[in-house]
Amino acid sequence: MNLSFFDQFMSPYLLGIPLILISLLFPALLLPSPHNRWITNRISTLQSWFIYTITKQLMTPLNKKGHKWALILSSLMIFLLSINLLGLLPYTFPPTTQLSMNLALAFPLWLATLLTGLRNQPSASLGHLLPEGTPTPLIPALIMIETTSLLIRPLALGVRLTANLTAGHLLIQLISTATAVLFSIMPAISILTACVLLLLTILEVAVAMIQAYVFVLLLSLYLQENI
């Protein structure tokens, strides 16, 4: 039973091909590229408003130099949001519950922000490792602590996204299993657990959206420190 709960986090294969590749490409089909010959309708208007709102929220803490990252950060936000929400559908595989994938997204972008700061303003970037006014005996220890906190940032990004989504999916599966088992034994309790399951599903939709936003927002804050 314990193993079956974690089977949903295993990447499915078809003819030896990992289907995680298809699940990663599927969100792109939900956002067709606009064309000059298209007639503006409600869907395209809603899509444009949604992308504009996301871009505005992400670019607010950044100065003009950071606006060059608008396309990357907005695309990442929409990508994570689509995958997280699609992963809540029944009989689907949630790719963002894989730590390897989340680290593959977090580490290169974090490294890009770090290298941007070292190239443009090396003194200011290295100055973050030592707070101003630090007593001389504490300088070596603080440099080691700040360096460690800097290096674990991509790990924290990946683990935060993985842990929150994995915990939510496990809770949904546990409560849904309890609802199905109790239905023939205690129908009243089963109805109550079904109500709890509905509320938990709504909560997980919110968590999926919030975690995608937090992931990209922290990257934008790391970028702001280096520009």
Kindly give the confidence (pLDDT) of every residue in the chain, 227 residues in length, as a single tens digit, with 9 standing for 90 and above.
Answer: 444 666 666 666 666 666 666 666 766 666 666 666 666 667 777 878 888 888 888 888 787 877 888 888 888 888 888 888 888 887 777 788 888 888 989 999 999 988 888 888 877 777 777 777 777 777 788 888 888 888 899 999 999 999 898 888 888 888 888 888 888 888 888 889 889 989 999 999 999 999 999 999 899 888 888 87
Angle at 151 between CA 145 and CA 155, to 5 degrees: 120
Angle at 172 between CA 171 and CA 176, to 5 degrees: 115
What are residue 17's DSSP bridge partners? 14
- Pair of tokens at residue 100: 């390897």
Domain parsing of the chain, residue ranges = 20-27+42-226
Q: How crowded is residue 60: how many other Cβ atoms within 10 Å of its Cβ?
A: 9
- Pair of tokens at residue 114: 């770090």
Q: What pTM did the predictor assign?
A: 0.80
How far, in Å, CA of 202 to CA of 50, rounded?
A: 20
